[in-house]
Structure 1
Amino acid sequence: MKTLFKGTFKGTKLQRRKGSKLIQKSSVLFLSSIFFPLFSFAQQQDSTKVNSLDEVLVSAVRVTSKTPVTFSNMDKKEIKYRNLGQDIPVLMNYLPSVVTTSDAGGGIGYTGIRVRGSDATRVNVTINGIPYNDAESQGTFWVNMPDFASSVESLQLQRGVGTSTNGSGAFGASLNMLTDSYASKANGEISSSYGSFNSMKNTVKFSTGLLNDHFEVAGRLSAIKSDGYVDRASSDLKSYFLQGTYVGKTTLIKALVFGGTEKTYQSWNGIDAQTLNSDRTFNSAGMYTDEAGNVRFYDNETDNYKQNHYQLHWSESLSDKWSTNLAFHYTKGQGYYENYKEDAEMSDYNLNPVGTITTTDLVRQKWLDNDFYGTTFSVKYKEEKLDAIFGGGWNKYEGDHYGKVIWARYASQSELGDHYYDDFSTKTDGNIFAKANYQLTEKLSFYGDLQYRRVHYKANSYETGIVDDTFDFFNPKAGLNFEINQKNTLYFSYARANREPNRTDYEGGNVKPEKLNDFEFGWRFNSEKFQLNSNLYYMGYKDQLILTGRLDDVGNPIRANTEKSYRLGFEFDATILLSEKFTLRPNFTLSSNKNVDLAVEGQYYGTTKIAYSPEVIAGNIIVYKPIDRLYISLLQKYVGEQYMNNIELPSAKLADYFVNDLNISYEIQPKSVFKSITITGLVNNILDKKYVSNGAMWDIYPYYYPQAGINFLAGLSLKF
């Protein structure tokens, strides 16, 4: 949540809008009034005809091989082998064009993901079709939902613009996740893992199965702790997931409540080059000098946040051709981060001088209290030649930002609970779209997709200034899919995307919305023992908001518009069944990512490489299955060199790295008590490579985020 707290409208006391609270209460009553009548109207179930109704929840935002879009899928089986506590971005590390990072160095806590060089704020994330990206920062904070992977049925990563979806525009990729399906029979699961840096995860799951062939209640509780690879970069994470499901002959109704709490010691400062060589795990967060001249570290330099999500989905199969999905959602988020500030200017915290004393040591908290709610809908029509979807959504965000001083050496006139800044922001986001896949001939199909999106953002703070902007975006997409034969398919697509600035962008002033034209040309080959996906892409940007490599005073990445830029690349991934025991899954991306005629602060640099965009990204998974239910996998990842700014400063170059992980999983199926016992082991970085996956620039000086050397996680899962 570190990027969520910016905003100081100093000396002002904004009152929380009462309308927000009324909306919260009325929303609960409204959802309840809809939810319970739905049960009485739902049709009776014929268990022999229950199709994958869960897929209706994400059908509006997902694609298949019939769609001219570049994508990768991960299912529950693939996720479980490495699900030992690390965040979802780390589990996705071996997908094409993906680069992941970890502030704490071990994959637990704050983690990030980049796709085709685009950072997480540009990856549209939905959960059951509901937007998850924070509305203001546009970021995705997996630390707020620890162990969410244990409740994911499947996920799909669409690279490039992809198809129209709810939430912010996809400028690098879109990730949509489908949560657990319902279970026909009662079951339970207990899983625990332990590993390096005192990392541990404990998870309990249950399902009642379908009661009276219609109703299921399922849930999960999880707790994750880790000391982190970096000094004091600890994580204390807890989460829950609860869903109630009604299944009818043509009806699926799901009510979900899930969320989590996190307390992580801050580790987003990074370290300089000298410290990288002498003390890789050093963490400057919380460091100060006491009155006696001793260097100390504040023991509560932490980020604290809790987030609760509520979703209600009603999917209805009206006939063989028509189906609908209607969803309502509400998310409540609240938390703060705490800092020790040495020799702070008293005037910055609305404190009067104490005699001639104008500075003081103090401890501050920056708070965010936000509400996000709305609705999404879709109507699907499918016949032999036509597959069409009409849908959309409306969402509203309301956020209070405020700061408190909880201790000061010289407290001046302050009172307990005083706010030294208050800021209130709102954002509404509405969209409608229509998309269709039409079979023109036996081999050729046409894909069309039109979306209109309106965004209104209003904020008042010292950093952003007074913002009151409205954006109207029209995003057309079209493509062709040509099946040469049963094994070979070619596709071509064009997609237009527009995207509004985020909160931090406004701090830089004179910010513009971005525009993107994305062209994709691909070839898919599918046979019994060999599957291949390859594609060429060209992403041409107007006013792209590129990462500058700089961070603001609380670790937010600073971006700036570049008038013209592009990403040109070739992606390849394959699954090769060498034998019954050996499988290879290689992938690689070769790309050129350039700013054209770049000018920074009046100085012309010409054509330069875009920051954080390696030209080579490669991965490989070698799976060996010596006996039934025993899997041994070698996972390999190579990321080429990249720059941490856009002017190709030599000191800003981040070295390439190649890491190898070893994953072993063995499942035992006893005849009594347990349905299965699964033993899993993961050795990360088995060659003990000293590498850095991310960094930042403080003026001309590089700062690095080192990743852990060889480390391990081992787990045991009991299903009954």
Structure 2
Amino acid sequence: MKNLFLLTMLLSTSFLFAQGIVTGTITDSEMKTPLPGANVTVAGTNNGTTTNFDGKFSLNVETTTGKIVLSYVGFQKQEIEFTVKNGETVDLGSFALMADENALGEIVVIGKGVVDVAIGRDTPVAVSTVTSKDIQRRSGNEEFPTLLRTMPSVYANTSGGGYGDSEVRVRGFDQSNTAVLLNGQPINGMEDGKMYWSNWQGVKDIASAVQVQRGLGASKLAISSVGGTINIVTQTYNSVERGYVQQEIANNNYTKSTAYYSTGANDKGWSSTYMLSYWKGDGNFYEGTEGNGLTYFFSVGYKPSDEHAFNLLLTGAPQTHDQAYQNSIGDALQYGRKYNSNWGYKDGKYYNERTNFYHKPVLNLNWDWNISEKSDLSTVVYASIGRGGGTGPLGSFDNKYNSNGQIDFDAIVANNRSLATTDVAGNDLLIGEDEDNMGYITRASMNNHFWVGAVSNFNHKINENLEFNVGLDYRFYHGDHYRQVNDFLGLDGWRETGNGSIPNGQIVLQDYKVNLFNPTFNVAKSDQQIDYSNSEDIAYIGGFGQVEYKTDKFSTFLQGALSNQKHTRYDYFAYTLPSEQESESVENVGYNVKGGANYNINDQHNIYANAGFYSRQPFHDNVYLTYTNDINPLAENEDITGLELGYGFKSKIFSANLNAYYTKWANRTNTEEDRLDLDEDGIDEFYFSNYTQIEQTHMGLELDFISRPVETLPLTIKGFASVGNWKYSDNPNLNLIRQDDLSVVESQSGKSYVDGEKIGDAPQLSFNLGVQYNILDNLSIDADWFLYDQLFAGISPLDFTDPEADNKVVELPSYDIFRLGASYRLKLEGKKSLDFRANVDNLFNEVYLTSLSSNRAVTADTDAGNVYRGINTSNRGSFGFDRQWSLSVKFNF
């Protein structure tokens, strides 16, 4: 009996722990190429593996029957049934995964707990995703924001002109109100919420995927997600060894060279990735916009056990690029659409007086701790040190432009050299100062900062359906702002009389030239600073929490966050006494609460809804009045209310999402810079405008779809339609302040009557239709058509101060553009291959206006020669880029 019992136990154990091996290959259904690094797991378990460079996998299984799940970022999951006998190896064959536009969950290997990605039919928010495959497909000189333009209600505006000067708007909201996260780290400026994409030129090289959550989104942090949230997820832990070198060329002498290598994971759990690239070019479109830059990326991952995973990442992109500011349409028609008024020749060499230069290295450390089967903790600690700024003119010189509209720098130098000398310590020197005809130099407005922070999130599963998160978000920011001399232009020095700390003034004798690494290591001391010098400390601490309930049919969540933000300003020029140089500290408490629910009606249909309210603290630049230490008593928390409804349909050949949204942004305070010609002498002067009680209401509909009409045909059709109604919904108060002496212009201050006027700078009606077709297994073509309509000027409320006037916002002509691309892969020996890519943007060379920054209407008195396609040519605006092309070749090994 005892022996029979033992025999029974042995047979049972053998059955329970039956060992078998299943193998197979995973490929891309579009390109028919292997998918290295794809995940293969036994359904319902943690038992899994990844595919090798050839897309092959081998997985030990502990049951004779079951299912394996195949997944890869940007592709739809597949579940495959298997049957295997004990000790047997079964080849399941080859499986082609189909692209999924919104798949992102699988990509976050380390730091998933702090990277709030939305997952398909589980998260009740409007979401779109660009995968690394799409990013690499559109290589070349395309700006990062334009990679997102295939998403509903997302508009990439190239009006900045120089490399990295483009911007992205979501649902009509600018970048200061669209949160951008890098691996869960907020990267919008803490002073004003703005994004400067020139500081993130390398994102295209290091991003594994980019997900845009429109509206309040799924992020648990208290961030500026009024219009939406852009999640940039970079590479972290790589389990497969691979590498490549790539060379790209594009129009206007653009070249870019990139080298990449990932070691893959070794037996001890270590993995490291290295990437280095260098680019340069003469400009995308506008003349006089040369630039160059370097991108570096280093990541090391360590997984000592199933319980812990670490990843250390260092990346940066030092760059310089010359800029083209908006000129009048009349100037563009006179000198050509590529006209840029910022450059000319000095001693026979090209010279631009407005150059942006910056270096912002970012370091972050992720730690994932799987505490138990039900609990885990994810933490990211980060730091960045930003150095750089932008150059521009200081001083005055009459008639500085020649007949071609270019700056005559030789004449400026000659005028500077003709000034009377000044005795400085026994030496006769040419010293300029900021008064009429007292010299002309280029200065650099510096913006240096130190930023540290941490985000930690604890997740606990109460049962199969219910879980909660609690976490902490801490940030500290110190910024220094001042000007330094960039080029004396023939002078020996510059007299600074505005430094309150030095009442008798000082003479600055040192200049700081611009090059790729100069701002990182060369910082002007206080006695070499000019025009202004101020700093700020911003400390932020917040807590957040979320409860989520989920079944196969239904999911719902409720989130909340509470934060405190403290501001202190220091001004070393405007105040003489040290006791006055430090401002009174200002603390603001903010909070947000949001929730949503999704119901999967069946395998094809789902509906969702979400709602939220933000009480958002004002930005630092609005806390203090017009760049002084005086506190703005009207800078209160902004009120943001968002509502959203959505419907989704999914089948093998067609999927679509329909969203309706409503966002009200109220009680807003804003300070901005304006260029106005109030004295009507034909020359714009600079002013500050301060607004309070601004209110905007944005509502609209969004439809996006993807179709594979014939299952056996390698054809994909996708697109979107967006219809918006974005308006000012109240009349704000305003003050106009002269920049030179900070005095109020009474005649232009009071009330602005903008209630009901359209919000500008992004089209309120837009369409996209895209196709991709695989001609051969290794050859594909793709194309996109974009149509933009109901695009209005970016108005200043200053244009609407007369309640009796019949002011209307100027509407720009609608336009459409085409993009065409082709990809070819040449397979070589082993795992090696060559990838070729060609892109053409604005294929038919459409001429169009992309933005207006002034609002001057065509009236009965306007001369017909001063009208361009219904637009008054005195308006400042930007033409869109003409035809752009790029070619690349990539060697994979």
- TM-score, normalized by the shorter chain, greater than 0.5: yes
Paired residues of 1:481 and 1:491 also in contact (CA < 8 A)? yes
Matches within 5 A, 1:676-715: 676-697=833-854, 701-715=874-888
Aligned mates of 2:149, 2:686 — CA distance in 1: 23
Amino acid in the other structure paired with 1:361: Y
| Matched residue count | 663
1:585 is aligned to 2:678: no
* Counterpart residue number, 1:261: 318
Paired residues of 1:386 and 1:438 also in contact (CA < 8 A)? yes
Amino acid in the other structure paired with 2:466: L
For residue 377 of structure 1, report the CA deviation from its aligned partner. Answer: 0.4
Paired residues of 1:47 and 1:249 also in contact (CA < 8 A)? no
Q: For 1:571-625, what per-residue CA distance to the aligned partner results, in whole angstroms no more than 9, with x for missing partners? A: 1101111222221111011111111243563253442112324320222211111
Change beyond 3 A, Cα 1:353–1:442: closer
* Counterpart residue number, 2:14: none
Matches within 5 A, 1:356-435: 359-382=438-461, 383-406=463-486, 407=488, 409=491, 411-412=494-495, 414-417=507-510, 418-420=528-530, 421-435=532-546
Change beyond 3 A, Cα 1:717–1:707: same
* Counterpart residue number, 2:178: 123
Match of 1:482 among 599, 606, 618: 599
Bigger mean CA deviation after superposition, 601-610 or 237-246: 601-610
For residue 47 of structure 1, report the CA deviation from its aligned partner. Answer: 8.4
Aligned mates of 2:702, 2:574 — CA distance in 1: 40
Matches within 5 A, 1:282-293: 282-286=339-343
* Counterpart residue number, 2:818: 660
Paired residues of 1:542 and 1:565 also in contact (CA < 8 A)? yes
1:135 is aligned to 2:190: yes
Amino acid in the other structure paired with 1:374: G
Higher strand share: 1
1:525 is aligned to 2:649: yes
Amino acid in the other structure paired with 2:211: Q
For residue 694 of structure 1, report the CA deviation from its aligned partner. Answer: 2.5
Matches within 5 A, 1:69-80: 69-80=125-136
Change beyond 3 A, Cα 1:88–1:117: same
Change beyond 3 A, Cα 1:698–1:363: farther
Q: For 1:132-162, what per-residue CA distance to the aligned partner results, in whole angstroms no more than 9, with x for missing partners? A: 1121131122211223222111221110111
- Structure label with greater radius of gyration: 2
For residue 637 of structure 1, report the CA deviation from its aligned partner. Answer: 1.6
Amino acid in the other structure paired with 2:653: K
For residue 100 of structure 1, report the CA deviation from its aligned partner. Answer: 0.6
Aligned mates of 2:617, 2:181 — CA distance in 1: 18
1:159 is aligned to 2:211: no
Change beyond 3 A, Cα 1:431–1:411: closer
> Equivalent residue of 1:715, what SS?
strand
Paired residues of 2:727 and 2:755 also in contact (CA < 8 A)? no
Paired residues of 1:368 and 1:402 also in contact (CA < 8 A)? yes
1:716 is aligned to 2:889: yes
Bigger mean CA deviation after superposition, 316-325 or 708-717: 316-325
For residue 428 of structure 1, report the CA deviation from its aligned partner. Answer: 1.3
Bigger mean CA deviation after superposition, 515-524 or 491-500: 491-500
For residue 192 of structure 1, report the CA deviation from its aligned partner. Answer: 1.2
* Counterpart residue number, 2:832: 675
* Counterpart residue number, 2:4: none
Q: For 1:105-128, what per-residue CA distance to the aligned partner results, in whole angstroms no more than 9, with x for missing partners? A: 58x331210010111111111111
Aligned mates of 2:585, 2:637 — CA distance in 1: 14
For residue 243 of structure 1, report the CA deviation from its aligned partner. Answer: 0.5
Bigger mean CA deviation after superposition, 636-645 or 215-224: 636-645
RMSD over aligned CA atoms reads: 3.3
Aligned mates of 1:564, 1:337 — CA distance in 2: 32
Q: For 1:397-431, what per-residue CA distance to the aligned partner results, in whole angstroms no more than 9, with x for missing partners? A: 00111222352747355132421232111111222
Q: Which runs of 5+ in 1 are unaligned?
A: 1-45
Q: For 1:252-287, what per-residue CA distance to the aligned partner results, in whole angstroms no more than 9, with x for missing partners? A: 1001111010101122x2121212323111111256
Matches within 5 A, 1:600-619: 601-619=750-768
Paired residues of 1:286 and 1:297 also in contact (CA < 8 A)? yes
* Counterpart residue number, 2:354: 301
Match of 2:389 among 333, 336, 344: 336
Matches within 5 A, 1:543-622: 543-544=667-668, 550=674, 560-579=691-710, 580-599=713-732, 601-622=750-771
* Counterpart residue number, 1:451: 561
1:54 is aligned to 2:165: no
Amino acid in the other structure paired with 2:597: L
Amino acid in the other structure paired with 2:484: K
1:231 is aligned to 2:287: yes
- Normalising to structure 2: TM-score of the pair? 0.69
Aligned mates of 1:392, 1:683 — CA distance in 2: 45
Aligned mates of 1:53, 1:81 — CA distance in 2: 18
For residue 445 of structure 1, report the CA deviation from its aligned partner. Answer: 2.8
Change beyond 3 A, Cα 1:577–1:49: closer
For residue 678 of structure 1, report the CA deviation from its aligned partner. Answer: 0.8
Bigger mean CA deviation after superposition, 78-87 or 406-415: 406-415
Q: For 1:654-698, what per-residue CA distance to the aligned partner results, in whole angstroms no more than 9, with x for missing partners? A: 3322111001111222224x5221100100100110122233128
* Counterpart residue number, 2:8: none
Q: Which has the higher contact order (CA 8 A, sep 6+)?
A: 1
- Normalising to structure 1: TM-score of the pair? 0.85
For residue 495 of structure 1, report the CA deviation from its aligned partner. Answer: 1.1
Aligned mates of 2:763, 2:131 — CA distance in 1: 28
Amino acid in the other structure paired with 2:568: K
Bigger mean CA deviation after superposition, 602-611 or 445-454: 602-611
Aligned mates of 1:416, 1:394 — CA distance in 2: 41
1:243 is aligned to 2:304: no
Paired residues of 2:719 and 2:768 also in contact (CA < 8 A)? yes
Change beyond 3 A, Cα 1:708–1:566: same
Matches within 5 A, 1:196-207: 196-207=251-262
Amino acid in the other structure paired with 1:586: G
Change beyond 3 A, Cα 1:174–1:467: farther
